[in-house]
Structure 1
Amino acid sequence: MKKTYDYFLCDVFTDIAFGGNALAVFPKADGLSGEQMQKIAREFNFSESAFVFEPEGEGDKKVRIFTPTREVPFAGHPNVGTAFVLAESGVIDLQGGRATVVFEELAGLVSVDLMRHDNGMLEAKVRAPEQLSLGEALPVERIAEAVSLSTYDICVEHHQPQVISVGLPFLCARVSNLPALQRARPNVAAIEQLESDGIVADIHLYTHLQEENTLQARMFAPLDGVPEDPATGSANAALAGLLAHLQPADSGHFEWSIKQGMEMHKPSLIKATAVKQANSVTEITIAGTSVMLSEGRFFIE
């Protein structure tokens, strides 16, 4: 006998339909196996799909997140979008237009603050579940080859290409300017070689724009079934932590607006913040609004 599972589709990190990063959310996924969730995620073929369960510990809900090829411990836009869907569908009660929900995920407890703006848009702010970790640096030649750029396009004035994470690792590099960022293309053979060598193969590129504290980014994860991602909260959260770490001040509160998805015609805007105290990055958040697109149901044997 088939069982019915309702789902919602939304676009995340945008205030317009068909912008941002698409997400499928199953608000009542109890009964689905890991294999079934992976098949559903592959069927949608979004960057990620999110499945909500009753909590097992200290959280309000348990959330599992799947790319088309694997389960991941944490991701940004599924947390923003899942909190948005649960609030808009009445599962989360907004008291005075605000609420906080805690999700149990493989990376740990993830806290999300919700706030309704005067224009009716609902913003979700996600606290990274882990502190910033800085992994190995990579030779410029290898990152340049992986994204089909010249070594001169990779900027190393502030930091080498290196692995960064706040729950999900990415290989991060700064490129010299916007035209270089726009020229980048994933070189799958070179990316497969990175993975074969035990190096994180999800690549996050960014550059600084002329507007103050404004960045533009791109993220390539072809080995995860995501040739390019229009908005990557987990990567940009780690990037915010890295940039705060590099600030000369030993303490402070830092903010960035990060554009992504422009080359895909899926414009996204991510607000990122980081707090630094005594030369240590102590808190990182990413925030954005979402737009509901549709709802439907799956029929599972």
Structure 2
Amino acid sequence: MGTLKVDVVRVFTDESGNLGNELGIVRSGPASAGREQDIAARLGFSETVFLEAVASADSAASGGTAALRIFTPTTELPFAGHPSVGTAWWLREQGTGVGVLHEPAGDVAVEYDGTLTWISAKPNWAPKFEWLPQDSADAVEGFDGSEFSRGHHYVYAWADEAAGRLRSRMFAPAMGIAEDEATGAAAVRVTEKLGRDLQITQGSGSQLFTKLDGDFVRVGGATVFDRSLELDV
């Protein structure tokens, strides 16, 4: 019996560093090998990242690479947005900023821009979502997703269409996520669907920014460190 260190960050916070989606970050090793799904389920975050390898570059700000695997409480994902953004930010805080994250879906480019960390992804790397457009932001906020038992359901409405501001919520119970606070993969998909750059307010008020970039969509947001914990394994 031993302990496993888990760093927890919050991704896509508001401008004051509040809210955001919790992410567990684990450096892979003998204590986690082959037990990733069980560990992710025990932690209970919408996603937990297991860092397989980190290769430093000359600059601590960018240029290195990292390989990672991403798990929800019930399944492994080939790509996910908030784990990619959060891990890239955390690596820079550790002095090993990266330019690329190697994920099962493909290589995810990383950029750092002040308080925001950006990643680039192809829309087809993300899950397919059931789109549930609403008439108003108030309708999104009052939406009852408690009856969903499977699938990925993205509820959204324009808060300000001219400005590209979207209000959204996402429910994915089959992945062990009754409601996700901030979903980068869904931001990639909805940006492709709507065909424009967006500022998305999701969940309780988390903030995601997106930009169309050819065959890719860039997703950015702010991340803060929340806490460290130890898990008995």
Contact 1:5 1:29 in 2 (8 A): no
Partner of 1:54, secondary structure, is: strand
Deviation for aligned residue 1:44: 1.8
Superposed, 1:235-274 pairs within 5 Å as 235-244=186-195, 254-262=196-204, 267-274=205-212
Instruction: Give me the TM-score of the superposition, normalised by structure 2.
Output: 0.86
One-letter amino acid of the counterpart of residue 24, structure 1: G
Q: 2:95 aligns with which of 90, 101, 105?
A: 90
Report the number of matched residues.
Answer: 222
Contact 1:240 1:274 in 2 (8 A): yes
Distance 1:172 1:166, change over 3 A: farther
How many angstroms apart in 2 are the aligned matches of 1:294 and 1:16?
17
How many angstroms apart in 2 are the aligned matches of 1:166 and 1:72?
10
Q: Deviations over 1:69-110 (max 9, x none)?
A: 111111110001111111112232xxxxxxx42122121111
Distance 1:106 1:90, change over 3 A: same
One-letter amino acid of the counterpart of residue 70, structure 2: I
Superposed, 1:112-131 pairs within 5 Å as 112-115=110-113, 117=114, 121=115, 123-128=116-121, 130=122
Q: Deviations over 1:19-43 (max 9, x none)?
A: 11011111x2133234x21122112
Contact 2:126 2:188 in 1 (8 A): no
Question: 2:174 maps to which residue?
Answer: 223
Question: 2:19 maps to which residue?
Answer: 19
Deviation for aligned residue 1:16: 4.1
Deviation for aligned residue 1:166: 3.8
Question: 1:169 maps to which residue?
Answer: 128
How many angstroms apart in 1 are the aligned matches of 2:133 and 2:140?
9
Contact 2:47 2:83 in 1 (8 A): yes
Q: Deviations over 1:107-159 (max 9, x none)?
A: 111111123x2xxx3x210101x3x4xxxxxxxxxxxxxxxxxxxxxxxxxxx
- RMSD of the alignment, in Å? 2.2
Deviation for aligned residue 1:62: 1.2
How many angstroms apart in 2 are the aligned matches of 1:287 and 1:86?
16
Question: 2:107 maps to which residue?
Answer: 109
How many angstroms apart in 2 are the aligned matches of 1:16 and 1:297?
28
Contact 1:8 1:85 in 2 (8 A): no
How many angstroms apart in 1 are the aligned matches of 2:79 and 2:128?
10
Larger Rg: 1
Partner of 1:85, secondary structure, is: helix
Deviation for aligned residue 1:228: 0.6
Percent sequence identity over matched residues? Answer: 30
Contact 2:105 2:125 in 1 (8 A): no
Contact 1:73 1:168 in 2 (8 A): no
Deviation for aligned residue 1:185: 1.6
One-letter amino acid of the counterpart of residue 82, structure 1: T
Q: 1:65 aligns with which of 70, 87, 90?
A: 70
Partner of 2:186, secondary structure, is: helix
Question: 1:45 maps to which residue?
Answer: 44
Q: 1:212 aligns with which of 153, 163, 170?
A: 163
Any unmatched runs of 5+ in structure 2?
56-63
Contact 1:166 1:238 in 2 (8 A): no
Contact 2:20 2:181 in 1 (8 A): yes
Question: 1:249 maps to which residue?
Answer: none
Distance 1:239 1:18, change over 3 A: same
Question: 1:76 maps to which residue?
Answer: 81
Partner of 2:10, secondary structure, is: strand
One-letter amino acid of the counterpart of residue 25, structure 1: I
How many angstroms apart in 2 are the aligned matches of 1:113 and 1:55?
17
How many angstroms apart in 1 are the aligned matches of 2:126 and 2:179?
20
